[in-house]
């Protein structure tokens, strides 16, 4: 029988249910190293600051960090089945665990706890690898199966809310919730993956399965990995399928005057029902719970539905900027907080708060230059005083075509405009748009549409022209060793085949940037402060429902998230429903011209760039002279990451 190590903690509070709250997991198969598993698990102590647990067996070690709870013997992880032949470490929340456990009890399974962790064990016993298909929630877990299967089983949730990384080393596998734990393995070489670097400049992040580290991978969302006898197999267990709608993109988007009105009431009622159900399930908690509130449609929707389901005023936390103006949304957050009588708290970001940027880079593990990570980190830091769990509004833009690229593409592919773009010179088209008798915002979108006219016959190239900071020509100009194969394979897989342009865009947004940038930001910044973020818009039942909503009910005559606004009409304040789309803006230009200017010039200096050999300095100098801050920001972020994780043998957090 395998040996078990347990680190006890003091009992801090009485809880009715034992949940997989605020955790980090680590482990390896193929060798034994008690010291290494302790170091790896300690490296991610911020994900579960009060308690640790270990399983150490023959050629297998598992580690776990979590928040301390009552009944340590029952809620402790690693957790085992009745005969100790199956062991699990788990990070996340299973929202249907109660119903699933009852189903398993009817099949003869005996439970020792009332926990979602034990529910996964019994589901695995009953359904094997297909257990993941029965789980509704966010999760990353590892099961060591010492029964007849004799294998390691890793799994990640459908949308990639919870991260999981792994590396294959000399016939063994090492895995963890964060890369920094894997880097402690002595045989890991900290080296930049050149194809990942090209992807970074293409997308603004590194898509799964790659990471910026050569040899370290992300397990993709909706995937499992089985490792046995030195071999591994990855399987995708879920995918979202969009309803194929008859007619042109013009009709689908309602630009022809049709809005599928016969179906609107049905979709609106069903959307509200599923949304309410999702929010209610995400409210299950034995610890203080609240919401991050920006004052936008998405977070306001979450707060509204939380308030209707909660017995007491919910806690809301918002962030604003000292500079105010365009970047400050506190006015709208206060309207929502007052309307729903929330216990409201605010944090105002100041220029000197940027001193935390090295910590942010350290927590990300790889460069993820989402500037909203700074307010996300600080709002989580503030929230820690009031809540342990926070609901957030991420995912709505992906479900309901909320991004500007949908408006621009819908304009570019409207028959009249598309014909102009295909046959008229770009400058002339842009000039015509500039004189058109339409609102200023529409003119701006038309001018952008004119700018992508040379790619109008390639939806993939059109789309990337809208979302990429660097064009293919710019990537070739700046990279010393450009390798584009991986990026092309990612894009080709989503934009090939049948289906509308907009469904392809939506599927890509849901599958790639959501998991590899937005949710990475949410998880890493909240867990850095011992906060668990929950994402009710990404309940997979809601995602599946949204994929069947006609495009015309998502974007109607350039009114984004049309159906969501209709569903929330009469619930949200009119100021929020009528407010124009305002993405959470961050003053990057102000930062790079002010507090971060010297740091930017230091990490992008000629000496440093030429010594590294990744980039061509003349092009970087051109960007600096031209004040191209949207391109300088990801380069600066990459260089700060490189300092911490590649150059510093101890990958310390450093200072600005």
Separation of alpha carbons 137 and 290, rounded Å = 18
Separation of alpha carbons 313 and 293, rounded Å = 14
For 458, left (φ over 0), alpha (ψ -120 to 50), or beta? beta
Q: Which of 9, 23, 131, 217 is catalytic?
A: 23
CA angle 137, 139, 143 (to 5 degrees): 130
Short-list 7, 645, 6, 579, CA closest to 335: 579
What are the residues whose beta carbons fall under 8 Å from the beta carbon of 562, sequence distance 6 or more? 400, 553, 554, 555, 556
Peptide bond into 78 cis (omega under 30): yes
Separation of alpha carbons 639 and 656, rounded Å = 12
For 225, left (φ over 0), alpha (ψ -120 to 50), or beta? beta
Separation of alpha carbons 475 and 66, rounded Å = 42
Separation of alpha carbons 436 and 428, rounded Å = 12
* Residues 92-129: b if buried by 16+ CB within 10 A, e if exposed: bbbbbbeebbebbeeeebeeebbbbbbbbbbbbbbeeb
Separation of alpha carbons 95 and 19, rounded Å = 10
C-alpha distances (whole Å) from 162 to each of 52, 146, 390, 507 are 19, 25, 15, 19
Full DSSP string of 366-399: S----TTHHHHHHHHHHHTTT-SEEE--TTHHHH
* Residues 478-492: b if buried by 16+ CB within 10 A, e if exposed: bbeebebebbeebbe
Helix (H) or strand (E) holding 272: helix 261-282
**φ/ψ of residue 485, rounded to 5:** -55, -45
Question: Which pair of structure tokens corresponds to residue 505?
Answer: 């865009």
C-alpha distances (whole Å) from 546 to each of 178, 200, 410 are 31, 29, 19
Q: Report residue 34 CA to chain centroid gap.
A: 32
Torsion angle (degrees, nearest 10) of CA 356, 357, 358, 363: 90
Give yes or no: 131 in active site: no
Task: Please state whether beta strands 137-145 and 86-94 pair in parallel, antiparallel, or not at all (unpaired).
Answer: antiparallel
Separation of alpha carbons 561 and 526, rounded Å = 27
Q: Which residues are catalytic?
A: 23
């Amino acid at each position: 029988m395998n040996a078990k190590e347990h680190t006890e903690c003091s009992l801090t509070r009485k809880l009715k249910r034992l949940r997989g709250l605020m955790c980090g997991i680590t482990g390896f198969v193929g060798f034994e190293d008690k010291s290494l598993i302790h170091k790896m698990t300690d490296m991610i102590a911020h994900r579960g600051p009060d308690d640790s647990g270990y399983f150490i067996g023959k050629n297998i070690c598992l580690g776990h960090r979590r928040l301390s709870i009552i009944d340590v013997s029952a809620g402790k992880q690693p957790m085992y089945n009745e005969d100790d032949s199956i062991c699990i470490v788990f990070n996340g929340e299973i929202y249907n665990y109660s119903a699933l456990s009852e189903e398993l009890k009817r099949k003869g399974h005996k439970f020792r706890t009332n926990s979602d962790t034990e529910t996964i064990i019994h589901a695995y016993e009953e359904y094997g690898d297909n257990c993941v298909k029965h789980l509704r929630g966010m999760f990353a877990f590892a099961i060591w199966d010492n029964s007849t299967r004799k294998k390691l089983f890793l799994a990640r949730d459908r949308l990639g809310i919870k991260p999981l990384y792994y590396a294959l080393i000399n016939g063994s596998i090492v895995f963890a919730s964060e890369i920094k734990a894997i880097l402690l393995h002595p045989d890991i070489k900290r080296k930049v993956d050149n194809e990942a670097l090209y992807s970074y400049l293409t997308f603004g992040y590194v898509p799964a399965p790659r990471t910026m580290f050569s040899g370290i991978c992300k397990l993709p969302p909706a995937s499992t990995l089985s490792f046995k006898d030195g071999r591994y197999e990855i399987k995708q267990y879920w995918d979202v399928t969009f309803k194929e709608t008859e007619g042109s993109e013009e009709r689908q988007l309602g630009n022809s005057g049709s809005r599928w009105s016969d179906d609107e009431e049905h979709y609106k009622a069903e959307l509200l029902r599923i949304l309410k159900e999702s929010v209610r399930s995400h409210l299950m908690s034995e610890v203080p719970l609240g919401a991050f509130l920006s004052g936008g449609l998405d977070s306001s929707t979450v707060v509204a539905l939380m308030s209707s389901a909660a017995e007491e005023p919910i806690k809301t936390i918002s962030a604003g900027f000292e500079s105010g103006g365009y970047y400050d949304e506190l006015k709208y957050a206060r309207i929502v907080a007052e309307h729903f009588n929330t216990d409201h708290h605010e944090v105002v970001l100041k220029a000197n708060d940027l001193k935390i940027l090295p910590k942010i880079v350290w927590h990300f593990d790889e460069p993820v230059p989402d500037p909203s990570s700074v307010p996300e980190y600080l709002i989580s830091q503030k929230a820690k005083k009031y809540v342990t769990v926070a609901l957030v509004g991420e995912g709505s833009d992906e479900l309901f075509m909320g991004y500007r690229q949908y408006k621009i593409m819908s304009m570019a592919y409207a028959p009249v405009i598309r014909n102009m773009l295909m046959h008229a010179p770009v400058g002339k088209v842009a000039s015509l748009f500039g004189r058109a008798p339409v609102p200023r915002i529409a003119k701006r979108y038309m001018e952008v549409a004119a700018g992508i006219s040379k790619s109008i016959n390639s939806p993939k190239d059109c789309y990337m022209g809208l979302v990429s900071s660097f064009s293919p020509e710019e990537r070739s100009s700046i990279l010393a060793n450009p390798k584009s194969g991986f990026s092309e394979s990612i894009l080709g897989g989503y934009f090939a085949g049948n289906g509308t342009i907009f469904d392809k865009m939506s599927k890509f947004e849901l599958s790639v940037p959501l998991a590899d940038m937005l949710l990475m930001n949410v998880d890493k910044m909240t867990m850095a402060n011992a906060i668990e973020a929950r994402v009710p818009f990404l309940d997979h039942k809601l995602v599946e429902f949204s994929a069947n909503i006609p495009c015309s009910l998502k974007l109607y005559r350039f009114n984004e998230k049309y159906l969501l606004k209709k569903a929330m009409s009469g619930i949200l304040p009119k100021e929020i429903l009528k407010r124009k789309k305002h993405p959470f803006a961050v003053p990057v230009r102000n930062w790079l011209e002010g507090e971060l200017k010297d740091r930017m010039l230091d990490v992008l200096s000629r000496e440093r760039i030429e010594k590294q050999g990744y980039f061509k300095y003349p092009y970087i100098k051109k960007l600096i002279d031209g004040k191209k801050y949207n391109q300088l920001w990801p380069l600066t972020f990459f260089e700060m990451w490189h300092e911490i994780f590649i150059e510093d043998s101890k990958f310390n957090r450093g200072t600005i």
